[in-house]
Chains A and B, each alone.
Chain A
């Protein structure tokens, strides 16, 4: 039962009545429209990004010089815990949900997601989970066990008080929302595609979001399981991680990383999805090797679910285990590399237009390449016995998360900004944002690799002078100041576009997927008539009737 014929009541067609503030508020709070919910996810995500970013600023100020007293040890430990937890669960995950919810129905020619009310539930679960986590500040019980809270540090014995409880419950509640969202994406992509859109003709973005949703369904239960076990230990005095009762504290690490490692793929897949839309449009060529790209994502799904213990090379697993996980981790680099090659091949022979989205996409390519290569270094267990839990790792994962995820995210935000707002941002400010942020990012995070080489562990609130760490830390901190300027420029651009930007029109980028076939912003019902497609690039077919894609697919 393809749900083409959605009821059209309450869509506000043709209505232009005045609304009071309360009515407007109600429209947003009670909405089940995927576009409103998508925007709500993105706005919340950006707010948390700023808050968590300020925490990072505090961290870098504390570490700028040795034996600094900018914050106390307890505060520092709270800062890096909340920074990590916020970035992963309150920035990364809503980004996945927000992008998916906004773009997917438009791209497949549907009027909404498969389960609009479940969609709303997902958002509000995330919203209240975040509130719960941050209410810990009001109770003076801020989590301080690190974003992956190892047992037994998280037990009642070593974390008395409620701080760890806030951490577990906040993330657990938000996690239910994530699972709900994922179910919705799977059902939408399978059941709601417009006529003619076979799986082969489904855009790369939608393919990737589908696999991403399946991965979420696979890995969030382990997170929920581990956190439930921790809660049962803490609240009911159980023994899951109680070494005295014979419990194995490594059980936490195994279950957590079974979630934690694939989680980074969950976070980066939507960015891969963005890349596979932005790079082709701004290179004026179709994505190179679409079947291979889909196969690569599926390979990462499977292999990436089996590499978790590369976070545990130092716990004393057997040599066989260590070798297995090292090899598997290296293997997962292959499909990832293939994707980079395919994006490059997409650009090759094209006519590349370096508008702001494409600038960020190019920044992504270089930086994610570096991140992948430092990841290969970490994958080899013997070398990891030196690099593990040092600032080299911090450098590595910030290259994947900022150099990769955030840059790709900016590419996507700038790409769909005109569609969502109907206005065009300033190309000049966008360019400035890119260059300044790129410089600041690299100035902060490249030196961290060297600090790691010189023996600086991670999660330390200070370090001794005379151990060679001062220079690198100071440079890192200065980079933060540059990054702040970049982010401010982004905020200015968003506001400028809304206020003074020219009207964007339906299709400012001359793109090829269905979202550009409707108005900017789209009406609540998305499309006047549900489109019928014959290829993976329906708008290309319309614009080039002499050379349509369906002749070649």
Chain B
């Protein structure tokens, strides 16, 4: 297929993917989250029953044994000091309840934590940074940021196994409907896995306070049907085509120092401090979820990222006018 036609096809956003902006943890869409959901439901049932009984007893006691308004006597009620049988009863019953919950919890913990990856599992490494996510697919040699694409995996046929670590402070990755929280810790590798059962775009966030822009360290899981996922992989693996001459925009990228932090595969730009920009335009968001990836937002982000994300580690570029236009048009070629 000719290069321009391919480029045209790949420019289209994944079609028909529902974006889950409301991330309800009671909508589990993977095996681990279903386990967590079931645990939660059992909890609600048991604690709900306990609440009904105890609160009911409390309310009854307060109403039944209140001092009546017309009771002026100094007569004290019978002075009861205790009852061994009653103490035993309300010790033993809670112990039994704990036994049940603890047993279910243990089974769930083992099931989720100690699961080992099947042979055809997809492996993804995630490295936490202040305030963005570096994502690496070792099998495909893909590096991207802030948006994790993974295949739908009904019946655990194509599960995704993650390795988490951090380059700086502790972060934590959470996508409520798809994957439970696991921390990204420097000098340590954590493992977790997921098998999302429904295609869609799912919002998640960093859930370990990591500094001034912790609130804006968001993430998206883009769960795709296998065919779409393979297409995405092929697209991401392409390096940028090498033009016959360096464009003005590419020169601007260099002069403005962008290359010091950002990598664009297929060029000399190999900065590893900030997100990889090779396929910047294929992503839905800028700045790890702070802004939708639109032309105006891209422009304002490049000029002054501190406006949308004050305190993030990307400095103001102080570019304007024609220089800015050139730079933006270069960035917009990074599909």
Contacts and interface: CB of A to CB of B under 8 A. Distances in A.
Chain B binds chain A: yes
Interface of A: 72-74, 77, 144-146, 150, 152-153, 157-158, 243-244, 246-250, 283-286, 288-292, 314-316, 318-319, 322-323, 326-327, 330-331, 333-334, 337-338, 340-342, 344-345, 347-354, 362, 365-366, 369-370, 373-374, 376-377, 380-383, 385-390, 453-455, 457-464, 466-468, 544, 547, 549, 552-553
Interface string B96-135: 0010011011101110111000000000000000100000
Given A314-B181, A460-B214, A453 B24 contact: yes
Ranked 9 nearest A-B pairs via Cβ:
A385-B180, A243-B187, A460-B215, A289-B82, A316-B190, A455-B23, A373-B47, A243-B186, A382-B108
B65 A349 contact: yes
Contacts of A334: 91, 94-95, 98
Contacts of B188: 248-250, 316
Given A152-B169, A315-B190, A383-B40, A338 B91 contact: yes
Interface of B: 21-26, 32-33, 35-37, 39-40, 43-44, 46-47, 50-51, 54-55, 57-58, 61-62, 65-67, 71, 76-83, 86-87, 90-91, 94-95, 98, 101-102, 104-106, 108-110, 112-114, 130, 168-170, 172, 174, 176, 180-183, 185-188, 190-191, 203-216, 218, 289, 310-311
B90 A369 contact: no
10 contacts: A152-B169, A290-B81, A314-B183, A316-B190, A337-B94, A349-B78, A352-B66, A376-B46, A376-B47, A388-B207
Contact of A244 (B39, B80, B187, B190): B187
Nearest to B88: A292
Max count, chain A CB within 10 A of own CB: residue among B80, B87, B182, B209: B209
A323 B114 CA distance: 12
Nearest to A352: B66
Nearest to B37: A386
A152 B82 contact: no
B81 A158 contact: no
A341 B55 CA distance: 10
A376 B43 contact: yes
A330 B42 CA distance: 14
Nearest to A454: B24
Contacts of A157: 168
B107 to A, nearest CB: 9
Contact of A153 (B44, B110, B169): B169
Contact of A285 (B79, B90, B311): B79
* Residue of B79, B86, B101, B214 ringed by the most chain A CB atoms within 10 A: B79
Contacts of B47: 373-374, 376-377
Contact of B57 (A152, A285, A315, A344): A344
A545 to B, nearest CB: 14
Contact of A386 (B36, B55, B208, B214): B36
Given A350-B65, A352-B67, 16 more contacts: A145-B209, A150-B169, A152-B168, A330-B102, A347-B62, A347-B65, A349-B80, A366-B55, A366-B58, A381-B108, A385-B36, A385-B180, A388-B207, A390-B207, A454-B25, A460-B205
A279 to B, nearest CB: 11
A453 B209 CA distance: 19
A380 B39 contact: yes
Contacts of B82: 288-292
A380 B101 contact: yes
Nearest to A317: B113
Contacts, number: 275
Nearest to B205: A457
Contacts of B174: 455, 457
Given A153-B211, A389-B181, A380 B43 contact: yes
A455 B109 contact: no
Contacts of A458: 207, 209
Given A73-B310, A351-B71, A382-B105, A389 B54 contact: no
Contact of B66 (A150, A354, A549): A354
B21 A453 contact: no
Contacts of B187: 243-244, 246-249
A381 B109 contact: yes
B209 A146 contact: yes
A286 B80 CA distance: 7
Contact of A365 (B58, B90, B180, B182): B58
A386 B180 contact: yes
Nearest to B24: A454
A332 to B, nearest CB: 10
A459 B209 contact: yes
Contact of B67 (A353, A380, A547): A353
Nearest to B112: A382
Given A348-B65, A385-B36, A455 B55 contact: no
A345 B89 CA distance: 13
Nearest to A465: B21
B40 A386 contact: yes
A316 B191 contact: yes
A348 B77 CA distance: 10
A330 B96 CA distance: 11
B22 A388 contact: no
In this complex, the member of A74, A314, A388 whose beta carbon has the largest number of chain B beta carbons within 10 angstroms is: A314
Given A386-B25, A453-B25, A463 B90 contact: no
A372 B213 CA distance: 33
B263 to A, nearest CB: 23
B208 to A, nearest CB: 6
B55 A327 contact: no
Contacts of B80: 285-286, 288, 349
Nearest to B35: A382
Contact of A383 (B36, B57, B212): B36
Contact of A389 (B62, B79, B109, B208): B208
Given A288-B81, A457-B207, A315 B183 contact: yes
B115 to A, nearest CB: 10
A315 B95 CA distance: 28
Contacts of A468: 21-22, 24
Given A243-B186, A388-B207, A454 B23 contact: yes
A78 B191 CA distance: 33
Contacts of A150: 169-170, 208-209
B101 A376 contact: yes
B55 to A, nearest CB: 6
Contact of A249 (B104, B110, B186): B186
A530 B87 CA distance: 36
B102 A327 contact: yes
Contact of A453 (B26, B51, B172, B204): B26
A77 B83 contact: no
B183 to A, nearest CB: 5
Contacts of A323: 102, 105-106, 109-110
Contacts of B81: 286, 288-290, 552-553
A365 B56 CA distance: 12
A345 B54 CA distance: 11
Contacts of B212: 73-74, 77, 144
A291 to B, nearest CB: 7
Contact of B207 (A77, A374, A389): A389
Contacts of B104: 380
Given A369-B51, A454-B24, A330 B109 contact: no
Contacts of A466: 21
A385 B181 contact: yes
Contacts of A377: 40, 43-44, 47
Contacts of B206: 457
